[in-house]
Amino acid sequence: MDYGARHALEKRGGDCTEFSYLFIALSRLQRIPSRLVGGFVLDERGSLRAENFHNWAEFLEDGVWMIADPYRKVSRTPDGYIAFRIFGGEQEDYAQRFLSFDKRLEVTLG
């Protein structure tokens, strides 16, 4: 269950989703375009594992979407983040749940 940005702010808690929602809300208050992204963070071996599903935020800076992951305290480094879903964007499509938007990754189903 998602509790939203207010929960993260008032309770100073939540998971990656709540912290990302709060970052997005605060960014948009400053008129910085931002969005929620869902995908995976590679583990220390560079493997994509199901338990590493994660949500983070992205913000637009000079025409480039940059990563902001307030839950993991990471900013601007795309290394290790593999996007599978951009929430609320024109690319959001539930029928394509195995489509990666990351050009570094090729996904095949066997």
Within 10 Å of residue 31's Cβ, how many Cβ atoms?
Answer: 6
CA–CA distance, 20 with 9 (Å, rounded to integer): 11
Residue spans of the domains in the chain: they are 4-96
**Could you tell me the pTM of the whole model?**
0.77
pLDDT winner (highest mean) among 7-11, 15-19, 46-50, 106-110: 15-19
SS3 of residue 25 by DSSP: helix
User: Which CATH class name applies to 4-96?
Assistant: alpha beta
CA–CA distance, 50 with 70 (Å, rounded to integer): 21
Q: What is the pLDDT of residues 35-84, one digit of tens each?
A: 999 998 888 887 778 888 999 999 999 998 899 999 998 887 778 888 88
For range 5-14, the mean pLDDT: 84
